[in-house]
Chain A
Amino acid sequence: MSFTGFRSYFCDEQRSHCQLWAINVCRLIEANVTSLIINSEEMSDIRHALLRRDPLSAAKEVLYHLDISLGSALQSSTGPTPGLEKSMVELVEEFIFHVPKDRNIQPKRMSCVQELQLLEIMCSYFQEQSKDAIRQIIFSALFSLQGNKADESRMAMLGKLVSMAIAVCRVPILECAAVWLQRTHSAWCVRLAQVLMDDYCTLVPCAISTLQNICSASPRFCCQLITAVTALYDFSSDELTPPPALLEMLVGWITEDPRLLLLTFINTPLNSSLPLGCLEITPLLGLLRWCVKAPLAYQRCRKPALTNGHGESEKGTASEELYSKLHLSVLQVFLMLQVHLTEQNLIGRLAVLPVESVATLVEEVSRLCEKLTPFPAANHIQLALDRLAQALQVAMATGALLCAREDLRALCSRLPHNNLLQLVMSGPVVQPPPHSGPFQPNMYPHIHPGRPSSLSPHSPHPVLSPHPALSPHRPLTAHTAHPSLSPHAFHPAAMAFPYRPIR
């Protein structure tokens, strides 16, 4: 399939250029389909031949080779991921991403139309490639970042490809992109999100509806996109404030189906090893950040232009409403998360919201509040703090956030006064006989370290389970080796929290 699939794309205009060579290669390939592993000599031959061709046909040729070599490798080998040969990677980089290999040979760049043609070919190819594995492999062979010079053009091409796939609704590509977003460092993910947002939110006026329709087609991609987008727009400046259209779309998505947010989390096998620095597994924290910071940030924006017209304030109230909705959705998702965690017996073991990230958020909020204090923004600060407090409470209650109340107090000490937050920090009124009380689901078992853990009915583990190694989240321990690199490295399960000895 893969062979014919690709071949059909480049047989139309091929012959005029280098008919003989193409025929030869085809023959060669046909003769050797199963065990085609092109060695380096052959590679250099191919390369020389490609150098003579026009960039588009050369790129197609390379894709063809890639398809064949990977497809055949996948068939032949039984290993999970067949390795990509170095020479093949070089060919891809040279002829698709146009990274000069030789100093004296300046590769011919494709024109934009040719590039579009190539993208179209890729789109169709991925669409028609029926085998998920091959598709995945080829996608990652093309677009997984290598940390070299080609990454820039790789990103550019990927951006265009994904953008185009959104436009023409190529679900397979979007799925691949979702995976890519999951496995790539967040910086690159943010860049891809930026490209997509530019394309669909800012550049083409009404294209956002196209994007909106994607949700039904590829919710996974949307989930990842939300995560990336929340990482992108962090309210640090005007440019990095989410556009209203985007906000509206996201709220629409989430309210329609809140489970969207947990899609990646649920679908990700717990033992899959995620690379360092990749996006968070749920967009929850990002969305929470939006909800909490939005009142402050909009207030900050409005501050210099207090006397502006009404349009501004109307827009503000409209987005205020959206943020409220969003906040509600986030809280609901926490509740859903609790159900899921309970089902999976993960309560208290897996911190969906890393404490460190929450600490960063609190830090940012307190800084914003300080900046705003000279201005009459008490309402907005209180709103932000209310949301923060609610979210913290719900998160702790649902087990998404693993945090002791003392730590919380220390964390929130710099924030301005807020009644609700005060309540959350001081905790509920302690019921007199803890041991005799019935099960109370809202007692946050794991945030009272002094309490015997036996009170927690959720804990399926033995009370004195001595070691986290026994927990089913085995792979998480791997992160402890790199505590400073990834947010996930600070998983509470791996940390010496006060509540741990009593488990």
Chain B
Amino acid sequence: MSAMFEGNALSAMQTSHCHTPLNNYSPQELALEIKAFISGVDQTQGRKLSVRDHARCAVRLLRTVPACRGAVLEHLRGVYDEYVAAFLQDLEAEGENGGNSTSGGGSTSVSNLEDVIKEIHAVLSEFIKLSPKAWAPLVSTWAVDLLGQLSSKHAGRRAAPHSSSLNELLQLWMSCAATRSLMECYSQCLAAMLAWCPDACVDALLDTSVQHSPHFDWVVAHIGSAFPGTIISRVLACGLKDFYAHGYSSAEKINQQQPIDKSSRVPKIGSVVGILGHLASRHSDSIKKELLRMFQDSLSPPPQNVPPHSSGAGGWENSPHLRRATVPFLLQLAALSPTLLGAVSAELVEFLRPPVLIQLQAQFQAFPREELENMLSLAVHLISQSPSGGARVLKFLADTATPSSVIISGPTPSPHDSIREACDRLLQMLLLHLHKLVHNRPEGDEPFPQSSAAQAMLQVIPFLEELQENIGDLCAETLRLERKRHLWLHQLLCLLSVYGGPSVATEALCQLFTQARNPEELALASQLYTPLSTSLSGLLPSTIARCVAQIHTQTLDNKQLAQLLNNLGTAVQSQEEDRKNGGAATGSSAQSSMAAQVRVAISNHLQDFCPLLLHGDTVVSKAAVRLLSCSQLPRACSPAHLLLICRAAVSHFFVCLRQQGESLRVGEEEVGYSMRLLSRLAAYSPLTLKAVLQQLVEGALHRGNRDLFGGLQENPGDDTTQSSNLVPDLGVSLLDINCKFGTSVNFSGNVWSVFHAGVIGKGLKPPYTPSQPDPDRVNQNMQTLFAVMVQCCSSGGGSPSGNARNGSAGGTTNGRFPASEPLISDELPPINAEAAKVIAVTLVENICPDVANGELSWPPEEHAKTTVERDIHIRRCFEGNPVLFHLLRVVAAGRPALCYCSVILRGLLSTLLAHWEASREPSVLDSPWHLQTSCLLVSCMGEGQLLPPVLSNIHEVFPHISPFEVRLLLLGVWEYMRGNSPMPQKFTFCADQGLFFRDFSRDGDVARYIAPIHSVLHKNIDRLGHLCWRFQI
């Protein structure tokens, strides 16, 4: 009879319909079978049944006598238990024998029982399959109970891993045929029961789980991963109930007189966390959903007419106490499991809309005070530990805690006042907590090498870690300066900076510098810097370096760039003003300390800023020049950098002038900054002075800049190239020009364009009209240029910018060269001789390309024939560049520099002589340019003390005499010059005036050269009588 139960024949038979041999037992046989089962003795043969046969007998009864099923299942418990015991014994023996599989009887008993267990399993699963409604509840309860019993009974065995290691447990038990079979049965039941009553099934599971708490977790975990949706919600609900029962709130329970059995049970939350943690690896989404749903359900009003199982979570929603306990429970859960915290933290905030908050608040009002405090600190702890969503949490907290106002009316209605206060408090506690965390961290450089890794783990504050990435947004938020909010955020920034170390602090400051839009906002940067400066050294230099890097990588648009430069400028300037105030404002010492540091830091990067001077966007270039103008040149700066800066500054100056001309209002300030920068540069060192002056002169004489100063343009056809020369960095790319040239052949300047009246297709060539520059503009430009040059030349210091502005403002429009009078006035500081020499030399280099006969001493007048070509060139230069006279005057003012210009003077004079000699006009007024030039030349030479005063006064009579007489007089000048060579060594320094003077008395008799003057005077005494006194020796 038993043979037909052997092996797989059984299961094959069971699947077929079973009218066949199974029920062939007569009642008598069955009675015997029952007796055998009860007594354990074979009734026919009278011998004792083996465990295996006994189990088979039980299975037969299960199939035939329904009334026996309770007893049979109970008996089978023993079989399973025996199997597990044998199994574990084998394992232990194996472990002892070191893998030698010499386990004798144990293994046979295991294998013996294994097929019985297979049979049992087959029968049970067949039953469940055939009539799930009847068997599933029965078997599931039995299986779960047995599982619990087995796992807790054998938990102490050596082979069994500790209950905390869920995965090992799972592995062990799933490798055991008995428990695996039970598990499969249970899964089958659950799968069958899910359709109509999952609750009962899971409840049994969880009740067992409570009973055998830590040892049983593997079952729940396994089932949970098979039926995540059901199990997760149930486990949570169960945990909640337990949590409520176990005393999160003692006071409340005492009020309700609830029977508490604290004695026996360990709080189950640990198990819940373990199970969920196990499930989280694969079902984190469902867990997250479930947790959030739980939270929402706990707050939403209790369902009125909903059947209790509709939500599937066991109806905890219906109990107000449980609902109230939900939030603390969730907090506790999150505190225990970082995984769960991570799952929820990011999205929980999304749910905290005002209505939810109001409900939350209503719910919390019922809590006792200390409970609330606990929760608050727990929440703070959680926020600080949450690995993601920190930014959103922060935003939420700040938004909610910000006092509502009429002005800031967002899309969401302002929350309740008490909610706001609570949030405020939470935020403050959070900040305090973070503060503690941040500042209590052991210093990284402390000599504890052995604990470095562990401590590093401890030191990590996930909240701050995450926020580090959002520091830009944080800065932007802070800069909005919204009431309290920016205080919080500022504090947070501070903490972040301390936490993240130099890199974060640098980033924060850099962001602040970039994003601040006005001085108040900028003040935040210094407020941030002040506390940080104590702990972090070298912060500002690295910040500036970072800003510079930002500039280099061109991540900023023009507006931001300008803002950054302006902010830096403001920062530097504030210090300058403080210094000017004589340190009276000690209150702002913090700010000034930062300003000083910024200044130093910036001065190390000036060369990086100077390319920005020529930035195409005026806003940027203006900001750059402002920054440079108020920043200090470093003490030790490489000449290359200096020259770079100088070149940029001078180029920028001319660009400024041009821009100023285009729209007066805009450029004015920029020109001021530019002047200031140039004068600073010039004052820095002789090298820079030389470079600046040289480039200024060259720039002023440059073809492209000529029109700025009233010069004539030589080649009307070269507009485009000129302008591109003129503004080297105006955004016109060389590539573009080349492309243009390559694709459409530019015939301008070509023979074709000369002979024709235009290019075919482009219409008639516009007639060239030499643009007559606006005299006012020219005037102003000229003034500005000279103001700069004078400032540069006069190294005396003072307040150059102010005077320069005064000078240029005072400049009026009388005549063509009105600027000369106010510029070379006694009020101005004396022109530095050295500077003047630089100008002089530069002038010579630029005007006079031919260096033959370039010596200072003058040859006889006849020898001028040899240099006619050069002289004509020089004259043309002067014709084309009115600015030259003014430059000459500057040179003249810086005695004895004019000596070095003697070639120019000579050339000019010789052409004048030639002109006046050839002139057949009745009056000198008929050749105005020459007249003017003669006057200026002579007066200039007088100013430079190349001529004695008597001789230099002759220009006063020029307008009144004939051309020939002018020639005579000029010839006298030449003669004098030939006689008394313009040598610098003839000048002596007069210390009290700070100027060089020439003592003409040492130069022999002047009277010899006066004679032609006197004869001219005599001849025209009627007209020149009033001037005679000017020529007395």
Partner-B contacts on A (CB < 8 A) = 111-113, 115-117, 119-120, 123, 159-161, 163-164, 167-170, 198-200, 202-207, 209-210
Contacts and interface: CB of A to CB of B under 8 A. Distances in A.
Q: What 3 A-B pairs have minimum CB-CB distances, sorted nearest first?
A: A169-B27, A199-B66, A116-B71
Nearest to B70: A112
B18 A113 contact: no
Contact of B71 (A112, A167, A202): A112
Given A113-B38, A203-B135, A164 B67 contact: yes
Contacts of B37: 116
Interface string B520-547: 0000000000000000000000000000
B70 A167 contact: no
Interface stretch (B125-133, B443-451, B635-643, B807-815): B125-133
A198 B35 CA distance: 24
B615 interface: no
A168 B70 contact: no
A113 B71 contact: yes
B348 interface: no
Given A116-B38, A205-B131, 6 more contacts: A112-B71, A116-B34, A168-B28, A199-B66, A207-B64, A209-B23
A206 B19 contact: yes
B74 interface: yes
A209 B30 CA distance: 14
Contact of A205 (B28, B31, B130): B130
A205 B123 CA distance: 11
Given A112-B74, A116-B38, A120-B38, A206 B67 contact: no
Interface string B16-45: 011100110001101100110110000000
Nearest to B18: A206
A203 B68 contact: no
Given A203-B127, A206-B22, A115 B64 contact: no
Interface string B50-80: 0000000000001111111111011100000
B67 A167 contact: yes
Nearest to A161: B67
A167 B66 contact: yes
A203 B131 contact: yes
A351 to B, nearest CB: 38
A168 B37 CA distance: 14
B66 A163 contact: yes
Contacts of A123: 31
Given A112-B73, A169-B27, A202-B134, A119 B67 contact: yes
- Of the four ranges (under 10, 10 to 19, 20 to 34, 35 or more), the interface on chain B belongs to 20 to 34
Contacts of B75: 113
A115 B19 contact: no
Given A167-B66, A199-B67, A120 B23 contact: no
A117 B34 CA distance: 9
Given A112-B70, A113-B38, A116-B70, A210 B64 contact: yes
A170 B73 CA distance: 24
Contacts of B30: 167-168
A70 to B, nearest CB: 25
A236 to B, nearest CB: 17
Contacts of A206: 17-19, 22-23
Nearest to A206: B18
A168 B131 contact: no
5 contacts: A111-B74, A160-B70, A168-B27, A204-B62, A206-B19
Contact of A164 (B62, B68, B131): B68
Contacts of A164: 34, 65, 67-68
A199 B67 CA distance: 7
B69 A168 contact: no
Question: Which of B19, B37, B67, B69 counts the most chain A CB atoms within 10 A?
Answer: B67
Contacts of B74: 111-113
B18 A202 contact: no
A459 B64 CA distance: 52
B80 to A, nearest CB: 15
A164 B69 CA distance: 11
B61 to A, nearest CB: 9
Nearest to B73: A112
B71 A115 contact: yes
Contacts of A117: 38
B64 A167 contact: yes
A206 B19 CA distance: 6
A202 B34 contact: no
A202 B35 CA distance: 25
A123 B30 CA distance: 13
Nearest to B29: A168
B35 A120 contact: yes
A111 B30 CA distance: 21
A160 B19 CA distance: 23
Question: Which of A113, A168, A206 counts the most chain B CB atoms within 10 A?
Answer: A168
Contacts of A167: 27, 30, 64-67
A169 B131 CA distance: 25
A168 B66 contact: no
A115 B37 CA distance: 13
Question: Which of B19, B63, B65, B69 counts the most chain A CB atoms within 10 A?
Answer: B65
B14 to A, nearest CB: 9
Nearest to A205: B130
Interface in B455-480: none
Contact of B63 (A120, A159, A168, A204): A204
B67 A163 contact: yes
A191 to B, nearest CB: 15
Contacts of A120: 34-35, 38
A168 B127 CA distance: 21
Contacts of A210: 23, 64
Nearest to A212: B23
A203 B69 contact: yes
B114 to A, nearest CB: 23
A204 B18 CA distance: 11
Nearest to A116: B71
Given A205-B127, A205-B130, A116 B135 contact: no
Given A113-B74, A167-B30, A199-B66, A207 B38 contact: no
Contacts of B70: 112, 115-116, 160
A185 B28 CA distance: 33
Contacts of B133: 202
Contacts of A207: 23, 64, 66
A206 B65 CA distance: 11
A5 to B, nearest CB: 16
A164 B33 CA distance: 12
A275 B31 CA distance: 35
A169 B35 CA distance: 15
Contacts of B19: 206, 209
A126 to B, nearest CB: 13
B81 to A, nearest CB: 14
Nearest to A207: B66
Interface in B103-119: none
A304 to B, nearest CB: 15
A487 B22 CA distance: 43
A113 B18 CA distance: 27
Contacts of A198: 66, 134
B936 to A, nearest CB: 114
A459 B17 CA distance: 55
A280 to B, nearest CB: 27
B340 to A, nearest CB: 41
Contacts of B65: 163-164, 167-168
Contact of B64 (A119, A202, A204): A204
B533 to A, nearest CB: 77
Contact of A116 (B31, B68, B127, B134): B68
Nearest to B131: A202
A131 B31 CA distance: 22
A298 B925 CA distance: 133
A123 B68 CA distance: 13
Contacts of A202: 131, 133-134
